[in-house]
Amino acid sequence: MQRSLFSLGKERGTPMTRALDVARMRARVSELLAEYRIPSAVIGVLRDGEITDFAVGVKNISTREPARTDTIYQCGSVSKTWTALAFMRLVDEGKVALDEPVRTYLPDFRVADPDVSAKVTSRHLLNHTNGIEESFGDPGEGDDVYERMVANIAGASQVHPLGRTHGYSAALGYAILARIMEVIDGKGWDDIMKDRLFDPLGLTSTTSRHEHADQNRAATGYLIRSLEEGPILSPLDHLPRSFGPGGNVNTTARELLTMAYVFLNEGKAPNGTRIVSPGIIREMMESRVPVPDPYMFGPEWALGLIACDWHGQTVYAHDGSAVSQSARLRILPESNIAISMLANAGPRDSFYRKVFNEILADLGAVTIPDLPEPDPTLALDLSRYEGSYERPGTRYDVAAEHGKLHLRFTLNPMEAQLLNRPQQLDYELLPISETHFLMPSDDPLEDPQTVAIYDFKNGAAQYLHINCRVSPRVNEEDATMHVMAVSTISDIDGFWDSLKVAYGQLPKGAKWTLAVSSTDGTKAVNVIVHDSIDGVRSFFEDQAGAFATTEYFEADAANAVGLPAT
């Protein structure tokens, strides 16, 4: 008789008797925090229904106030697991069906592709196979933010065809789910989360908005630009409201485990409240799609959870980063264990692996597998992978040099400045298989990653998958015109704020090669490579037209290179 992993977890968890050595782990985490220059971390372990948690480090460097087990952190994209669970309560009640088109609940829903407009479902949104570009503009910070996001994507094109591949959606997919929830429940998403999830779970520290968190207990976020410099205060203390369902939940390590408890106990909360039925938990865990890069996070994506393979055991997970804070959640049904970690810097994959592996070893549970080693015997036709791969705001160039494959990544100029890094980064790709590569780094702040380059058509790979995001191959034949946009600025802050948003929404194949301003800020020159002056004018005016008067010229790119030194 077959039994699900869910059932096995309940049956196999109880015999475990090994205890966590909290004093040793606290000392070890303190060592690792110093090594990685992370100010603090709070770690929780749920085992057989009981939670053990401990805090290490300081939640604020200036005040030296220590982190405590009730310190509140931003859990970034782990918010998606919270949102998915709340959404599945509506599924459990029969108010929404996973495989019904989104239009069943949002009749005006529309994107650029009519077929996607008619066929995309909640399941596509939950498992990140919808493929819709994150082209939602600036929907503001008002209570109508998710309604506006849905309205703003009427012209959004596809990164990939519906259901063709997995490609992580940072904000948009779960914002659409939030809007469905609002229409069905007749109230705002923040109220729905409180009424349908936080309160029934008995949570007192978990909120969906930064301003609702208890600021006296909230950790301050930091960036680590170098190990020598150490942590610096982040200029961005929280994500925009548009990221709410996908990134803005604030919580404690213990309360995050209270949510994880529901997955280990057939949908019941620790206080006995039934959150969802056992069938819904099975649906969330067992409805999965393949992830092109199976090594970095896991080989499959379920509904609001990643399904990992740890030495033959299925472990459920989600990670989160809120610019200057990070979160990790791992749920081990076969051991009846869940582990959470919240930190006010990061994320660093090697830090999480070291901490969790020591805890898991202490408990006698399965540990995290290492990334695979390159296979030096593989003889690949490197030309099949060469090319440019791009999604809005992100571009990767893959090229063969001296028999080795290289990936070049162009950082957003503002991100490069913020992190004190060069705008162009270069990595060698070491083959693991015909479609997978290890990407090591010489930077002590970067851990090795894996990359998938796959889906070959006419001898060329069509997609690059890294950090769960997918970027399609770019046909750059049409993007040949250098257009110079010369602006007289009427609102300096508005103009540059709008360009920050615009950079992440470049049309496919376009490149932004220059953005400079006069010393007084009233004049600016931007150079964008696209298919026509009209194409650049339309894009630029949509984004920044309200803040400047701009003239557009075709630039002579041939004369812009090779100039003699002066």
Q: How many CB atoms lie within 10 A of CB 404?
A: 12
Alpha-carbon torsion 277, 279, 285, 291, what sign?
A: negative
Helix (H, G, I), strand (E, B) or coil at 266: coil
Cα 289-386-429 angle, rounded to 5 deg: 70
Report CA 391 to chain centroid distance, whole Å. 14
When computed from its CA atoms, the radius of gyration of the chain, rounded to whole angstroms, is 24
> How many C-beta neighbours within 10 Å does residue 552 have?
18
| Active-site hit among 7, 30, 40, 77 | 77
Residue 522 has, within 13 A of its CA and on its CB side, a CA count of 1
User: Is residue 77 within 8 Å of 71, Cβ to Cβ?
Assistant: no
How far is residue 245's CA from residue 188's CA, in Å, rounded to a whole number? Answer: 12
Residues 6+ apart with CB under 8 A from 244: 79, 145, 146, 175, 178, 189, 190, 208, 209
Sheet of 469-472: strands edge to edge? 387-391, 394-401, 404-410, 424-431, 436-439, 449-457, 460-466, 469-472
CB 385 within 8 A of CB 461: yes
Instruction: List the one residue out of 444, 524, 468, 467 whose CA is nearest residue 491.
Output: 524
**Which amino acid is located at 550 in the chain?**
T
**Two structure tokens written together for 180:** 């469905």
**Cβ-based neighbours of 95, under 8 Å, separated by 6 or more:** 184
Query: Please, how many CA atoms are within 13 Å of residue 119, restricted to the half-sphere of its CB?
Result: 11
CB 413 within 8 A of CB 421: no
Cα 388 from Cα 474, distance rounded (Å): 6
Contacts of 80 (CB under 8 A, 6+ apart): 174, 245, 246, 247, 304, 318
> Annotated catalytic, 433?
no
Whether residue 530 contacts residue 484, with contact meaning beta carbons closer than 8 Å, is answered with no
Q: Distance between CA 448 and CA 521 in Å, rounded?
A: 40
Which residues are part of the catalytic machinery? 77
